[in-house]
Structure 1
Amino acid sequence: MKTKILDYIFGVFKKDPKEIESLNGLRAFSILIVLFFHLWENNSHQFLEQGLVTESSLNSILSMIHFMDLFFLLSGLLIYAGLFRVYEKYSTLNIKEFYLKRILRIYPAYYTVLIITFLFSLVIYTEMKAKSNLNEIEAFVLNRASIAVNNPWSDIFLYSNYNPNRIFEFGWSLSLEQHFYIVLPFLCLFVLFKLPFQKRMFVLLGIYILPIFFRFYHQFNGDAGGIYYATHTRFDALFLGIITFEIFNRKYFEKWNGWHASFTFLAAVALFFIGVQIRKHPILEHTLSYNLYHIVFILLTISAMIPSSPVYKFFASFLFRPISRLSYTIYLWHGILAIRFVRKGMDNLSWSGFFSIYAVVCLKIFISCWILYLIIERPFHNLKVKLDKEHPTPDKV
């Protein structure tokens, strides 16, 4: 009994032999970058005025917005890898079971945070509506809350990435991934897994380039603002994960050593900063810059999957494991928690002061999300584990 309780509480720290530890590190690194970006983004103009950053360094930091694509790449890679291994063993897919596992993993936590966000918006709306002589900011908040509480359907039915007035600001990426999950098992079962490797890659590359045309279309038709959120302009990052798995699964990098991986990592870093410059171009920022950062992330992922490399050893650190396991929880709750934890101290900051606040906020968010995970997600995780035991599937990459 004691062992079960300890496993329930500290399971996020426990090593899973089915996982590639370095991919846990990449996922943890991604969520830490997202936290850094959102904390910085909300205060960027203030930091610029204080001279904490230059315009050039600010552009580098704001380019971190693309790290959501690393999340998408990892999601695409891992989900596709699971389906691939299942089909490899059984020559079929249980689509119903696939959806059930996705529901148990995603929906309980998502709808919990959605309900709380809705109630929070409702309270703000009620308080602001009762006020008279609202200032400009209060009027904006009232209008935003009014739109949110009167139009929750896009959040409920997971198409909020097409609604700029969604209740849950960060729900757009979950909507995008759900659209991917709906299509993927059918695409795999009836198309991709019926094809030999070369033809399968040709189809995947064809699918990958489609969003480029959509992005250019929106860019030249005055609708660039929605490019970052829409499924049809962003699903290429998820298919990039599939392509990454297919390349790695062919064991092209089996003979690579630490030097190869280190060079690949350095190439990714160099391309990241080239991307910073490309984003300054008004057309490329919303179109081809995504694809350049995709190359950055595929190189980073490959370098992190070479066991002999220092990149692998860094990302395989046990310190990243619990952060990775809680990354979904952290992503869902960090906006609400950051409002609570970041109340003061952002004025007249130094770099050391900012990173001190960032470290404290990350620690508080981690502890809070660990508790929320145990209360909301862990029971459903156990149901999913039970389902896996009853219907075992090979899911190692």
Structure 2
Amino acid sequence: MVSGCFFISGYLITGILIRSKEAVRSQGALGVILVFYLRRALRIFPAYYMMLALAAAFLPEVRTSLPWHAAYLSNVLFALDGNWDPWPLAHLWSLSVEEQFYLFWPLLIVLSPGRTLIPMLVGIILAAVAFRAAIVFYLPEGPARYVLTPAAFDALGAGALLAAIEASHRLTDVLRWRLAMASVAAVAIVAVSFTLQAAMFNFVLGDFLTVVPLVAVVSWASAGAKGQIKRLAENSVVRYLGRISYGIYLYHFPALAVVFLFCGSFEMQFPPLGPIRFVIAGLVTVAAAAASWHLLEQPLNSLKARLSYTARRPEIDRRLGRQGRLPK
């Protein structure tokens, strides 16, 4: 599931960066990259740091590790400690991986010549698989094997590769059908490997193979959804949940921890794992995510219109300060 999220992130972010390259001539590469960073910060930072502040206020066990999470080094913390404590913030390792990915990815995509982009992305995917194969021999079983940023580059790179192929107009129906057939083969291989309990194979290639069906689905969806899939995508509830999905991600563990704390304070027995717990935790999470969206994220998102990739260079300079520097 996490690999799927990395794939979607790589696909969306790389698509944005490839389209933004059209503005390099008017804004310059530095201007385009700076706008990207500012738009990402506006989207990600406020809700993230609000969640950390609320978690620290209600959950004492997260306070000692707060500097790691505030610096987007959750994955490094879990790798060094060899465990997932504090568990209410354990999910943040994946967001840390993405933020570390954002540090260099815009430079790579915007500054790379178009003809070298696809071969470079293929190389990055292969390097990630080789990295995972190598760390099997050097790192013991534990979080470190899974949370180090290079280990996620195959899923991120697969999303980026699909975006690059799409932008180059090479995503034909023939290729889509080949991806569909590759998906069937990938699912069969994963099923056999899990049945045989081939642990090393599952770690090195299993996660990447589970991304292949998602590559096929997104490749077809990019051509335009039809029928039941289109109706599902246009459903108002589905669209709203998609809108607040970042908040759902941020709050799903902290919300569960707060519910545990609330029940403990009143000596109430919280339901065991099962549908009742899922519904209670889900409702609390969605409520927190909805509040985050309407009170914080949506108002700040409206400011992104002032940071456009299509604005002329003088306009960017005016908004960011003289000579393109950030205002003090």
TM interval, shorter chain, is: 0.7 to 0.9
Corresponding residue to 1:336 among 254, 269, 291: 254
CA deviations 1:51-105 (Å, max 9, x no partner) are xxxxxxxxxxxxxxxx122211121111111111121244443222211111110
Measured after TM superposition, the shift of residue 234 of structure 1 is 1.1
Do residues 365 (structure 1) and 312 (structure 2) align?
no
Match of 1:375 in 2: 295
**TM-score scaled by structure 1?**
0.64
Could you tell me which residue of structure 2 aligns to residue 243 of structure 1? Answer: 161
Identify the range of structure 1 (290-299 vs 88-97) with the bigger mean alpha-carbon deviation.
88-97
Answer with 86-95 or 372-381: which moved more: 86-95
Query: Which of 175, 182, 205 in structure 2 is aligned with 1:288?
Result: 205
Cα gap change, 1:326 to 1:296, in 2 (>3 Å): same
8 Å contact from structure 2 (residues 128, 154) kept in 1:
yes
For structure 2, the residue ranges without an aligned partner over 5 or more in a row are 261-268, 314-328
Q: Which moved more, 1:383-392 or 1:328-337?
A: 383-392
Is the aligned partner of 1:163 residue 2:77?
A: yes
Of 106, 109, 122, 1:188 maps to 109
Counterpart amino acid of 1:335?
F
Equivalent residue for 2:145, pick from 217, 220, 227: 227
**C-alpha displacement at 1:313, in angstroms?**
2.0
Within 1, Cα distance between the matches of 2:180 and 2:123? 27
Q: In structure 2, do the counterparts of structure 1 residues 266 and 221 end up closer, same or farther at CA, with 3 Å as the change threshold?
A: same
Please identify, of 357-366 and 81-90, the stretch whose mean Cα deviation from structure 2 is larger: 357-366
For 1:96 and 1:89, the matched residues in 2 are separated by 12
Query: Is the Cα–Cα contact under 8 Å of residues 212 and 288 in structure 1 kept in the other structure?
Result: yes
Q: Is the 8 A contact 2:244 2:290 kept in 1?
A: yes
Gaps of 5+ in 1: 1-66, 123-144
Quote the offset at 1:235 in angstroms: 2.2
Within 1, Cα distance between the matches of 2:258 and 2:68? 26
Aligned to 2:33: 95
Residue correspondence of structure 1 range 39-50 to structure 2 within 5 A: none
Could you list the per-position Cα deviations for residues 299-349 of structure 1 after superposition, in whole angstroms to 9, with x for gaps in the alignment? 1221322326547525523242111111111000011223456864447x6
Among 324, 327, 334, which residue is 2:242 paired with?
324
Q: Distance in 2 between matches of 1:371 and 1:153?
A: 25
Q: Distance in 1 between matches of 2:64 and 2:271?
A: 35
**Which residue identity is paired with 1:162?**
V
Given the alignment of the two structures, is residue 108 of structure 1 paired with residue 46 of structure 2, yes or no? yes
Q: Give CA deviations for 1:8-53 in whole Å, capped at 9, x if unaligned.
A: xxxxxxxxxxxxxxxxxxxxxxxxxxxxxxxxxxxxxxxxxxxxxx
Distance 2:162 2:7 in 1: 8
Residue of structure 2 equivalent to 1:117: 55
**Mapping 1:351-362, distance limit 5 Å:** 354=275, 358=278, 361-362=281-282
Instruction: Give the 3 Å change call, closer, same or farther, for CA 308–326 of structure 1 in structure 2.
Output: closer
Shift of 1:155: 1.0
- Greater percentage in helix: 2
Query: RCO higher in 1 or 2 (8 Å CA, sep ≥ 6)?
Result: 1
What is the match of residue 81 of structure 1? 15
Distance 1:86 1:264, change over 3 A: closer
Q: Tell whether the 8 Å contact from 2:56 to 2:63 is kept in structure 1 after alignment.
A: yes
> Equivalent of 2:307, from 376, 387, 394?
387
Separation in 2, partners of 1:270, 1:311: 25
Residue 90 of structure 2: SS of its match in structure 1?
Answer: coil
Residues 96 and 232 of structure 1: CA distance in aligned 2, closer, same or farther (over 3 Å): same
**Is contact 2:59–2:258 with CA below 8 Å preserved after alignment?**
no
In structure 2, relative to structure 1, the CA distance for the partners of 1:216 and 1:224 (3 Å cut) is: farther
Is the 1:109–1:329 contact (alpha carbons within 8 Å) kept by the matching residues of 2?
yes
How much does 1:277 deviate?
A: 3.7
1:173 aligns with 2:94: yes
User: Under a length normalisation based on structure 2, what TM-score does the superposition of the two structures give?
Assistant: 0.76
Could you say what the CA RMSD is over the residues aligned between the two structures, in angstroms? 3.1
CA distance in 2, matches of 1:256, 1:311: 23
- Corresponding residue pairs, total: 290
After TM superposition, give the deviation of residue 297 of structure 1 in Å.
Answer: 1.9
1:275 aligns to 2:190 (yes or no): yes
Distance 2:135 2:141 in 1: 5
Q: Give the corresponding residue for 1:213.
A: 130
Letter in 2 for 1:178: E
State the alpha-carbon separation in 2 of the partners of residues 242 and 357 from structure 1.
Answer: 37
Judged with a 3 Å threshold, the aligned counterparts in structure 2 of structure 1 residues 235 and 341 are, in CA distance, closer, same or farther, namely: same
Distance 2:103 2:152 in 1: 16
1:176·1:235 contact (CA, 8 Å) conserved in 2?
no
Work out whether residues 227 and 234 of structure 1, in 8 Å CA contact, stay in contact via their aligned partners in 2. no
What is residue 307 of structure 1 aligned with on the other side? 224
Q: Distance in 2 between matches of 1:311 and 1:240?
A: 27
Superposed CA offset, 1:141-179 (max 9, x none) = xxxx3xx53343221211111111565211111111111
